[in-house]
Amino acid sequence: MSERQSYKTDLSDERWALIEPVIASWKAQHASVSGHQGRYPMREIVNALLYQGRTGCQWELLPHDFPPSGAVKYYFYTWRDDGTDQTIHDLLRWQVREKKGRLADPSLAVLDTQSLHAAAGVSKATTGRDAHKKVPGRKRGVAVDVLGLVIAVVVVAASMHDNAVGIALLDGVVASTAPGAVKKALVDQGFKTAVVEHGTKVGIDVEIVQRNPGDTGFVPQPKRWVVEQVNGILMLYRRLVRDYEHRPASSVSRVYWAISDRMARMLTGTSTPSWRGWSSVSGRLPRRPGRRGRRSRS
């Protein structure tokens, strides 16, 4: 493939070095019978997925200097179904925690849900209406640690009660951590006693954090604020602002890729591009008009 101009979402050499071992291992386990190594570099496949997640573009609108959308789609679905996306995510989470001087698995988890509008074309069989928030679409639940790193993700119809999401998240936390590692979970008042009881069954003490009756508007709660921050970070990835995916499993995979991108940047000391000045068409920062030839006053 010929050299192309880079996008702000492209993996740096350092960030690719964090992901490449997992992809290389996957390739070795899925070697072609003929010995063919594949037409497209795996780094470019991942770059295309990160670009799409950040800009929110449709498959057919991926820039032509990426591999064909059919090839990118194939790897996205394959890695979603065999868990490669979560493997990359979990390995990066362990590395970030180690870098911060913490154990690989947390002892405390914070759970929350977020209702999202579903895009046109998303199957009604997998969507519903959140009666409390008046949002038609899907409900995304995340469990995070105190660093704001995702432990588990659940995506269901928005009509599902937070209890069902909370129970599924607790099961996801147990499956994604060492036995007995997570001892406590914090949830808001949207979760009820069913979640607390399920926590007891799986060995996690679930505490429903009560809101101060005197508070008005949004007031961050100690320790629980970190999950609100993660929900805000996910909004930087336009593919996650609405639920565009036909299958909830694809929505979960999008979260893994977004947070993996964030953690790779944390490990290499690079920041996530903001929306300010971002062009969703070219994926590059446009040149500001009227600045050519202007001298600095400093």
Q: Could you read off the pLDDT of 141-153 as tens digits, one per residue?
A: 999 999 999 999 9
Instruction: Tell me the average pLDDT across 160-169.
Output: 97
pLDDT (0 to 100) of residue 236: 94
Which pLDDT belongs to residue 60? 95
Q: Which of 11-25, 66-80, 260-274 has the lowest mean pLDDT?
A: 260-274
Per-residue pLDDT, 210: 82
Task: Tell me what pLDDT residue 284 has.
Answer: 46
Burial class (CB in 10 A: 0-12, 13-18, 19+), 26: middle
Check whether 277 has a pLDDT greater than 90.
no
Residue 15 has pLDDT above 90, yes or no: yes
Provide the whole-model pTM. Answer: 0.86
- List of residues 6+ apart from 59 with CB closer than 8 A: 52, 69, 72, 73
Q: In this model, does residue 289 exceed pLDDT 70?
A: no
pLDDT given for residue 34 in this prediction: 61
CATH of range 107-243; options 3.30.300.180, 3.10.50.40, 3.30.420.10, 3.40.50.1100: 3.30.420.10
Residue 77 above 60 pLDDT? yes
The residue extents of the domains of the chain are 107-243
Residue 261: predicted pLDDT? 97
pLDDT category of residue 31 using cuts at 50, 70 and 90: confident
Asked if residue 263 lies in contact with residue 97, where contact means CB atoms within 8 angstroms, the answer is no
> How far is 91 from 173, CA to CA, in rounded Å?
15
Q: What is the pLDDT of residue 252?
A: 98
All residues at 6 or more sequence positions from 147 whose CB lies less than 8 Å from its CB, including other chains:
96, 97, 100, 102, 106, 226
Q: CA-CA distance, 26 to 82, in Å (whole number)?
A: 10
- Asked if the model's pLDDT at residue 255 lies above 70, the reply is yes
pLDDT at 32: 73
Helix, strand or coil for residue 237?
A: coil
Mapped onto helix, strand or coil, the DSSP state of residue 151 is: strand
pLDDT higher for 297 or 243? 243
- Cβ–Cβ < 8 Å for 248, 123: no
Question: Does the pLDDT at position 160 exceed 60?
Answer: yes
The Cα 154–Cα 167 span in angstroms is 10
Report residue 239 as tokens.
Answer: 């593919």
pLDDT at residue 273, as a whole number: 60
| Helix runs in the chain, H state only | 13-29, 42-55, 69-82, 84-99, 162-176, 193-202, 225-234, 248-268
